[in-house]
Amino acid sequence: RSCRRALCTDADLAARECKMVKYGLQFKATLENVTNVRPVGEDFRWFLKLKCGNCGEVSDKWQYITLMENTPLKGGRGSASMVQKCKLCSRENSIDILKDTITPYNADDSERFKTMVQFECRGLEPVDFQAQAGFAAQGAESGTPFSEINLQEGDWNDYDEKSKESVGIYEVTHKVIKC
């Protein structure tokens, strides 16, 4: 037997654990007079739909992970942002946010995909992302801070008093890539 996409070796199958795989969450938006769009704080919630690499089951509900959460892995192999047992096949899988990979989306990136964060996964694959609250940005020319940006609707706009111009983040989309 083998895991989907040949992620596991025979030895791993015996131990029922898959290799670690990194996935990147790429962000794309049209920016109007703002830059440095980023998630804020260790409590920022990355809302994901996750797929089990063993049986292919995809979570029907959004699940979130944060940098604050830290769950020990079975067998003392470290920790991860989330460890969960698949409802269908009962395999224990994990996903960890790679803190050092969190990168802001800047004015120069507008209308292009850019990797905003990477996840280290064992037996899980992120297949969808839902941007919600907790983002921040700053005025491209003025440096005016904008906090508590909610991107759940796919668009956000405001007015920059310093530069006397409208600001916005529009047509937010994403994709998940294998790193």
Tell me which residue of 76, 157, 55, 65 sits closest to 117, measured CA to CA: 65
Query: Do residues 111 and 72 make contact, with C-beta atoms less than 8 angstroms apart?
Result: no
Q: What is the mean pLDDT of residues 35-44?
A: 97
* CA–CA distance, 60 with 135 (Å, rounded to integer): 25
pLDDT above 70 as % of the chain: 90
Statement: residue 142 has pLDDT above 80: yes
Q: What is the mean pLDDT of residues 1-19?
A: 45
Statement: residue 15 has pLDDT above 60: no
Statement: residue 1 has pLDDT above 50: no
> pLDDT tens-digit profile of 44-64?
999 999 999 999 999 999 999
Pairing of strands 71-72, 79-80: antiparallel
Statement: residue 94 has pLDDT above 60: yes
* CA–CA distance, 137 with 154 (Å, rounded to integer): 15
The pTM of the full predicted model, rounded to 2 decimals, is 0.88
Among the residue ranges 11-20, 88-97, 124-133, the one predicted with the least confidence is 11-20
Statement: residue 18 has pLDDT above 80: no
Q: CB count, 10 Å around CB of 131?
A: 24
